[in-house]
Chains A and B, each alone.
Chain A
Amino acid sequence: MKILKTKNLTKIYGAGETAVRALDNISFEVERGEFVAVVGTSGSGKSTMLHMIGGLDRPTSGEVIVDGRTLGDMNDEELTIFRRRNIGFVFQQYNLIPMLNVWENVILPVKLDGKKPQKEYVEMVIDTLGLRSRISNWPNMLSGGQQQRVAIARALASKPGILLCDEPTGNLDSRTSQDVLGLLKVTSEQFHQTIVMITHSEEIAQLADRILRIEDGRFVETGMEVSHGKG
């Protein structure tokens, strides 16, 4: 079952001679529970694509359909609400809310939705990510790896249909990177979580079930199954 579909996704910045085509007719699909990596060099348009499918930005043309709903049909308010219910983000910069502690950061999307966080589930996520002893710490008291784990926990807390990761290990040293990636993989399997991860590193991309390559806003080869992927 498809959870994510894009049709002819195009994003153009600027106009006239200075116009830059950041995304050019991108169409692809992601199955529920799939772990997809998008690989590309800096400026290839991979982050722009992630922003479009996450509903953070709007395409110049084309469609994004998440869980059967077309993002382009929603207004900003609806889009925000849809996002907090269905999409989780993990960014290179962690982007934790500086004035909230770890626990508050993790449950924020759920609380914003007016729901009570499922304590057992959130605690399980926190335990899985090894954050138990840190839950009352402030973001600035944590290391980069810890912050990124909090970001992952926050993204998972609302049980999103899809988890979008933008260079999740870009700011981490190699050992911590391994930890975080391992956790992502575990998460994908344990919670049967759909993940779309952006990275510039081929090595990291190998962790995914499928790798998409993007260059100058276009996919160069698609549908490449990673050899060790799930059958």
Chain B
Amino acid sequence: MVKVENQDTLWLLTMRFLKMNRRRNQIAVLAIVLTTMLFTSLFTGAVSMTLSRLEADKKTYSSWSHVILQDVTGEEAQRVSDILKNNSSVERFGVDIFVGTLQDERILFQTEVRSADADAAESFCNAPIQGRLPENEDEIALSSLVLDALGIPYEKSGKISDNKIRLTIALDNADGAEALVTRDFYLCGWWQGDVSDYSQYAWVSEAFAKDTAPKVTREELENGAMSGAVSFSIWYKNLWNLRQKTEELGKNCGFLQTGVRSKGFQINPAYESLTGEGGISLSGIAAMILLIVLAGYLIIYNIFSISVKTDIRAYGLLKNVGTTGKQLARIVRMQAFCLCLAGIPAGLLVGYGCGVLLSPTLTADIDSIGYVQEVTVSADPLIFAASAVFALVTVYLSCIQSCRIVARVSPVEALRIADGGQMHGRFGHAGSVNKSVIDASMWGMALGNFGRSWKRGMIVMFSISLSLVTLNGIFMMVRGYRFDAYQQVYMASDFALDKLPDYAPYAVLNGVAEETQRLINACPYAERIGYVRYAEEYHEMEPRLCAVWDEIVREQLSSSWTERWEQMKAENQMQITLMGIDCAVFDKLQWRGETHTWEEFLRGDYVIVDYPLFAGRDVHSYQAGDDFWMTYQSGIEREYQVLGEARLPYSLDYPYTNLVTVTVLIPDEEFIACTGSAAAMRAFIDAVPGSEEKVQQYLKETVLSEDSALLLHSVLDLKASFARYLNKYYFVGGALAIVLALIGMMNFLNVMAASVLSRKRELALLEVVGMTKKQIRRMLIAEGCLYLGGAFLLAVLVTALFGGQLLTAALGQAFYFQIKVTVLPSVILLPLLVVTAFFIPVYQFRQMSRESVVERIS
């Protein structure tokens, strides 16, 4: 067929249709704004959540660059540097040289001394916020924590101290011997140190590093030397094909299979975990997108289908004079497009605002340490592009049916409509309205009217019940979270103090020093104070123990543990997780079999042994009454008897994964006597009920100020963060339910309006034959009640039948989450629904009744 150039004419018709339907346009634009807004806030929220997580992860891994290459020699570094400079996918890279660690009795945490360029300092997230990186050999930049420890004042607004600082650096040389270097430095810059960092840093100049740290060879590096080792922090131009690019880089630099120490180029786990497990939930987002598309579809579909049906005569006449079906469909699509042009930009703006407001709530995660994650809000153009595309697609889908209707409009049908035969369906022609109809009950007539446009009615019901179901779901979800169950597992006490961050290599396993314990013991308002002490010991295996574990490792554990076990077997040494416990901890033990008392435990030379977790109930490392020999690393030998089998609760146990070990519990005094260490892995404090605030204040002011590296886990923080976490759902869910409700109500309003207007003449005829205005109003109210009542029943039905499954599918099954199906929110909203069902039809009828019966009938 010849392509015809009639774009102008179609545009003219489109514009005229738009002009003719001002009210429809307003509702449609509002619906598009709401839909776009939902998309934009969803995407803004999701991207901000991801970015905030990324920031947090970068901190955890102490690296902000995409890829790192650690510990290479000076010559290798030169080669790598040349290759990186010529690699087109690399944006920039930083270089640092390890010198040693600070040796100072005032500094109680590890502080690495390195030379670093600006990029490297940025990658470590330790770039000076005041001053600069060192340039001269006698300059140094330090973290605020180191400055605190050294007692050197610093202030952002003040001048950097120009006193000399005498520091001793322990070099880590090839021969294993530690050489000490003591120098005077001038402070040239500082930054805010982060207690959660695994090490603090001291930056020196490259000249100093090259001078002090000897040139290290590959062989020395592999033998454990550190000083002089060069590391790289690399940023790519983008994150596509991270793995492939990194492998290529490794191949080019020849670092694919280097020794154990240097693993070649490593991708920052923060970037790898972005979409993986624990990253953003793609299925959750897909579900939300579907929900929004559905909500948008339900209203926009109805708006268009009503308007097209109202204008069907005009479309029919156009077909009569030669507009083809395709052209008519295009006119409808172009109208939709014009409405999008108005609605989408507004929706993007409002949605972005909502997303920004929502982001802090979205990033809230349960966390007992109590620091609130920093929020990163993104304004990536992709967010807007994606939202706009999704909104367009929703609108496009919504008007497919209307396009089909106009494309198929029969020109003859249009002529009939033109002849005044508007009424069909139950009442037939206007003339057939008779007494029996009037006699029919209001409900019967309302049902009849509903039946005439049942599809439209169903869509309104779906639309409104979507909001009610969402509301029920949110309520069930929030009610389902049980703080008690959660606390029981994650915090066995009100407060806990330790130096055990999430990432095992950064842990200090005896972080609660004796001095700290004295402070803790002096805590007022504490009801109970307990300590768990930890030491790694070894135990010569009895043949029975060896056989038991041989089977466990073979049948239950993955191959990664086999190597470790084989080594233990070869040496016949079982690794013992030795825990010294006091009475308070003892009371929280989870026993298998017979339980015992603290007094019994103290009475003899007893140990309590744990039971292998993933073996059957009849598998024991040791059983009550077994003899147990220990030769401590201190040289002390003891003979014990096994009192019974028990495990520490999860929150008090050794916090990192070790699957091939036997945990042995002994009384704390015995522990101190045999290991010679009184420092504890973890302290826990239960407050006198109601005094949690005071205890927290004491711990913060007295204990933490003494040892700032301690992590304080507080039930108050946990509660607050749990509340924040729940708030996230209240907030997001509430907002979603409100918008969905708004969409549902708009839909109802629109359908009622259409229903009243399309029957303008028919209703007038009813009046002519004697139906009073009151009777008509009652009929219309009955109709409204049918719509909203149907929506209510649908919502109750869906919630009752599928609520549980839907929630479980969306949230998974957490032990602290218990679904109780309830339709309470819908019930609470019922009066509102009734009021709406009353007022909207009455309002519509009043609007229509402004014209006289005669005007309406003609």
Residues of A near any B CB (own CB < 8 A): 51, 56-57, 76-78, 80-81, 83-85, 89, 91, 93, 95-100, 104, 108-109, 111-114, 154, 158
Contact = CB atoms under 8 A, between A and B. Distances in A.
B314 A99 contact: yes
B16 interface: yes
B287 interface: no
Contacts of A89: 320-321
B322 A109 contact: yes
Contact of A91 (B19, B324, B418): B418
Nearest to A93: B418
B713 interface: no
B411 to A, nearest CB: 4
A113 B415 contact: no
A40 to B, nearest CB: 17
Nearest to A158: B322
B419 interface: yes
Contacts of B414: 95
Contacts, number: 83
Given A95-B415, A111-B9, A112-B9, A77 B326 contact: yes
B319 interface: yes
18 contacts: A56-B410, A56-B411, A76-B325, A80-B319, A81-B1, A81-B324, A89-B320, A93-B418, A95-B414, A97-B317, A97-B318, A98-B20, A99-B17, A99-B19, A108-B322, A109-B321, A112-B9, A113-B4
Interface of B: 1, 4-6, 8-9, 12-13, 16-17, 19-20, 314, 317-327, 410-412, 414-415, 418-419
A85 B322 contact: yes
A89 B12 CA distance: 22
B419 to A, nearest CB: 6
Given A56-B412, A93-B418, A93-B419, A114 B318 contact: no
Contact of B6 (A57, A93, A114, A158): A114
Contacts of B12: 100, 104
Given A56-B411, A77-B325, A100-B16, A113 B320 contact: no
Nearest to B18: A99
Nearest to A86: B322
A97 B321 contact: yes
The 6 closest A-B pairs by CB, nearest first: A84-B322, A114-B4, A99-B16, A111-B9, A114-B5, A80-B324
Contact of B322 (A76, A80, A98): A80
B38 to A, nearest CB: 33
Contact of A113 (B6, B13, B319, B325): B6
Given A56-B411, A84-B321, A95-B418, 18 more contacts: A51-B415, A57-B411, A77-B1, A77-B324, A80-B323, A95-B320, A95-B415, A96-B317, A97-B317, A97-B318, A99-B17, A100-B16, A108-B9, A108-B318, A111-B6, A112-B9, A113-B4, A114-B6
Contacts of A109: 321-322
A98 B321 contact: no
Contact of B314 (A76, A91, A93, A97): A97
Contacts of B16: 99-100
Nearest to A105: B321
- Which of B12, B412, B419 lies at the interface centre, i.e. has the most chain A CB atoms within 10 A of its CB? B412
A98 B314 contact: yes
Contacts of B410: 56-57
Contacts of A77: 1, 324-326
Contact of B321 (A93, A99, A154): A154
Nearest to A160: B322
Contacts of B1: 77-78, 81
A112 B319 CA distance: 11
A93 B415 contact: yes
Contacts of B411: 56-57
Contacts of A91: 415, 418
A154 B317 CA distance: 13
A194 to B, nearest CB: 18
B413 to A, nearest CB: 10
A158 B321 CA distance: 10
A75 B677 CA distance: 95
B324 to A, nearest CB: 4
Contacts of B13: 99-100
A57 B6 CA distance: 25
B321 A108 contact: yes
A99 B20 contact: yes
A112 B323 contact: yes
Nearest to A82: B322
Contacts of A76: 324-325
Contacts of B418: 91, 93, 95
B109 to A, nearest CB: 78
A56 B410 CA distance: 8
Given A81-B322, A85-B322, A89-B321, A51 B412 contact: yes
Contacts of A51: 412, 415
Nearest to B19: A99
Given A56-B415, A99-B19, A112 B326 contact: no
Contacts of B415: 51, 56, 91, 93, 95
A99 B412 CA distance: 20
Contacts of A95: 317, 320, 414-415, 418
- Which of B321, B411, B414 lies at the interface centre, i.e. has the most chain A CB atoms within 10 A of its CB? B321
Contacts of A81: 1, 322, 324
Contacts of B321: 84, 89, 97, 108-109, 112, 154
Nearest to B6: A114
Nearest to A77: B324
A76 B321 CA distance: 14
